[in-house]
Amino acid sequence: MNPSIRIIPCLDVTEGRVVKGINFTNLQDAGDPVEMARVYGLEGADELTFLDISASTGNRQTTYDVVSSTAEQVFIPLTVGGGVRTVADVDKLLRAGADKISVNTAAIQRPELLSEITQQFGAQVLVLSVDARRGATSSSFELTTHGGTQGTGIDAIEWVEKACDLGVGEILLNSMDADGTRAGYDLEMIQVMRPHISTPLIASGGAGALEDFARAIDAGADALLAASVFHFGVYRISQVKDFLRSAGYLIR
């Protein structure tokens, strides 16, 4: 879909700090989100994704403050997600400096939220985060909530088709099976989903080697999201981009 591929570091933030674990457990502190965002911006990240993984516990003000501080430091698109439940939440995050908003659990509970957001702000601000894992559904991929900890019994493909019909601007496809493992993106999941997604597809979960980024593009991803390989210095964004350029991919 997109001829030029985007590289997007993801900051999982809890209580004002960036953390990273495996399958959302055993979280390690990875640093200050504002400083990390600034560095990633300088290193050539195309966008940043900022997920408040403790949002459901209720301390939203920390998130708004961090988003505002981050937006002052970076001049690339900033997507913010975690605990977004209403159009008012979207409005407040956009005012704090976010460019796009990611929704997940609240949209599963009330799909009309997707069309409400796009009608008020436009499809370009709405990213649907899809946390999927292998399960007993018709496509063998099940939608999960609460950071991949709770199954829904909903088929992931049926959900992304519905979401595309409701007008989302992008799909962020997170493989709960691959998350944090550095064993490679979930190529099977990307390949199975791609024909059903009419918007750009951001692949997430499992980046470990430079070749993993190329394989995900070949499987159908338009953008590549990664966290631990960048946070813990395995690769710099420039290394990933140089590798992909040298392999013939069109990179921003």
Domain boundaries, the chain: 6-246
* Average pLDDT of the residues in 183-196: 97
* Average pLDDT of the residues in 142-160: 91
Q: Quote the pLDDT of residue 27.
A: 73
Question: How is residue 168 written in tokens?
Answer: 């989302």
Burial readout 202-227 (b: 16 or more C-beta within 10 A, e: otherwise): bbbbbbbebebbbebbebbbbbbbbb
* Average pLDDT of the residues in 171-185: 92
Residue of 46, 52, 89, 131 marked active site? 131
**Which distant-in-sequence residues (6+ apart) come within 8 Å of 242 by Cβ?**
none
Q: pLDDT of 84-109, one tens digit each?
A: 999 999 999 999 999 999 999 999 99
pTM for this structure? 0.93
Percent of the chain with pLDDT over 70: 95
Q: pLDDT of 10-56, one tens digit each?
A: 998 888 888 876 555 567 787 899 999 999 999 999 999 998 877 65
Average pLDDT along the chain: 92
Question: Active site includes 131?
Answer: yes
For the beta carbon of residue 110, count every other beta carbon within 10 angstroms.
Answer: 12
Q: Quote the pLDDT of residue 23.
A: 52
Question: Active site includes 222?
Answer: no
Percent of the chain with pLDDT over 90: 77
Q: Which of 24-38, 130-144, 169-183, 193-207 has the lowest mean pLDDT?
A: 24-38
**Which distant-in-sequence residues (6+ apart) come within 8 Å of 233 by Cβ?**
none
Q: Quote the pLDDT of residue 60.
A: 74
Is it true that domain 6-246 has CATH number 3.20.20.70? yes
* Element holding 69 (H helix, E strand): helix 60-73
Residue of 12, 89, 155, 186 marked active site? 12
- Answer for the pair 142, 135: CB distance below 8 angstroms, yes or no: yes
Top pLDDT among 19 and 240 is at 240
